[in-house]
Amino acid sequence: KQEVTQIPAALSVPEGENLVLNCSFTDSAIYNLQWFRQDPGKGLTSLLLIQSSQREQTSGRLNASLDKSSGRSTLYIAASQPGDSATYLCAVAGVNSGGYQKVTFGTGTKLQVIP
């Protein structure tokens, strides 16, 4: 059974800092890994999707990397802003018994960027 862990569980940084969020998974047989942002009580906003064959994806100030063999992904946020404050979830798309995709979410990292 796939298990997805995110470290740290919570992070508080001053505005302008660069930061790294970590995601680890136990089963490296994955199709893709996706990073989401979730504001309190709100839905999931997709940030980046990395296919298993890719090493990284970039979007604006965000960069996500994937090391499938070691079961790790990192989300790098450059020049953090107060508006980045949210919970960040990684979601790993593995394989179900039928050979099709099944998504397992990580435990989340709650980020607070202090002005």
Task: By CB under 8 A, name the binding residues for other proteins.
Answer: 31-32, 34, 36, 41-44, 46, 49, 51-52, 89, 93, 96, 98-108
CB of 56 to other proteins, least distance (A): 16
Task: Please say which residue, 53 or 69, places its beta carbon nearer to other proteins.
Answer: 53
CB of 46 to other proteins, least distance (A): 7
Give the separation between CA 98 and CA 9, rounded to whole angstroms. 33
Task: Please say which residue, 77 or 91, places its beta carbon nearer to other proteins.
Answer: 91
32-38 and 86-95 strand pairing: antiparallel
Give the separation between CA 33 and CA 25, rounded to whole angstroms. 10
